[in-house]
Amino acid sequence: MYQPVSLFVGLRYAKAAKGNAFISFISFFSIAGIALGLMSLITVSSVMNGFEQSLKTAMLDLIPHVQLRHTSNSGDNTELLKKLRDNKQVKRIQPYLTSDVILQTNKELLGVRLQGVFSGYSNPVEQHIYSGSSTRMENSKYQLMISRYLSSKLGVGVGEEIRVILPDVSSYTPLGRIPMQRLFTVAAIYDSNSEADTALAFADGKSLARLMRRIDSAKYDVSITLHDAFALSDFYLENPQLKRDFDIDDWQSQQGTLFAAVAMEKRIMSFLLGLIVIVAIFNILSALSMMVREKQGEVAILQTLGFTPQMIGRVFMVQGLYNGLIGTMIGVVFGILVANYINEILAFTGLSLLGGASLPVVFSQSGLLTMALVSILMSFIATLYPAKKAASVLPAEVLRYE
């Protein structure tokens, strides 16, 4: 016999095949509801984590996490920049030059953010190149790298020319003051599959500096890329002098709204799918409540055999927790399997994403553990009321007419 005895009796009740068919039906669907709810929750959360990670990797690697602009009080910051290079949080630090420009072709006119790429420093867009070569951009003057999206909109390919117009920088001509402009040659086309593709282009840094009339390289802005873009607050705490010596801009002020929207969407989806689990938990409560009414005679007999009210309550708590544990285990296992093979399942059913893209999947161990523990905890809470009702059964009243 199992010890304690409440566990033994509770498991016998939970596994018993006999009894009211309607109660068995509700118990089955409580287990199925928890399993389906958790499976859906794990699948959607993993895919949303994948999208968030892809967005973070693709987009935040192309823009500076922290941008330092020199001010009149900056002075010589050689030692400060050397200290930043040695900081364990910093992935790379390099000159940064950028300007809002207009790209003009015979087909289209588009406004984008043009960012300089300097030779001798790591090129963050290198891993996203779709066609062409970044080497040409580094070795030649007035070279440009645009995204597949911009290439399609502008109707140009590698080796073709685009007119770059800088509205903020102008020059005097016999016709008056006109914006600085120059023909650039497309050296490469990149594809990061992120929002950056719609509004970000790259040029060789020296040519862009010449066009912007930024001759003094010591006064270029400084781009800092962190190993963890979401550790900005810790980085600022470790380097408080940055706000004193520079004007600071970071990715949160530029793209924070986008990532906040993605995080909010993930929370809302998790909440809506979590309602499925909550409905299943109520099924456990309903099934146990009806079980208590049906088993009143057996409860009274157990009490005459020496079961205390607390032991009776634990019997029904064990029965409810059994359903919750079984449903949780099935939901977690099938949730991991479905999320892991979601692209194969979509292909098998004939569903496919636009452009043949695949869904990114990233599992969060802490998230999986949290969802499983919350499911079990809610199952336990659902057993409290039926257990209290069972513990309050009076043997004399129940057995009076037996």
For residue 164, give the 3-state DSSP assignment: strand
Q: How far apart are CA 339 and CA 363, in angstroms?
A: 9
Single-letter amino acid code for the residue at 193 = N
- Residue spans of the domains in the chain: they are 5-56+259-399, 62-251
What pLDDT score was predicted for residue 334? 92
What pLDDT score was predicted for residue 72? 61
Single-letter amino acid code for the residue at 127 = Q
Q: How far apart are CA 191 and CA 125, in angstroms?
A: 9
What pLDDT score was predicted for residue 337? 92
- Model pTM greater than 0.85? no
Q: pLDDT (tens digit, 0 to 9) for every residue of the chain, 402 residues total?
A: 445 776 676 667 666 644 556 667 777 777 888 888 888 888 888 888 888 777 777 777 778 888 888 776 555 566 667 777 778 888 888 888 888 888 988 888 888 888 888 877 777 788 788 888 777 777 778 888 888 888 888 888 888 889 988 888 777 666 667 788 888 888 888 888 777 788 888 888 888 888 888 776 666 778 888 888 778 888 888 877 777 777 888 887 777 777 777 778 778 877 887 787 787 788 778 777 777 777 777 777 777 777 777 887 787 788 788 888 888 899 999 999 998 888 888 877 777 665 556 778 888 888 889 888 988 888 888 888 888 887 777 766 666 655
> φ and ψ at 94, to 5 degrees?
-155, 165
Q: How far apart are CA 297 and CA 320, in angstroms?
A: 19
What pLDDT score was predicted for residue 17? 47
- H helices within 16-142, ranges in order? 21-60, 78-85, 134-139
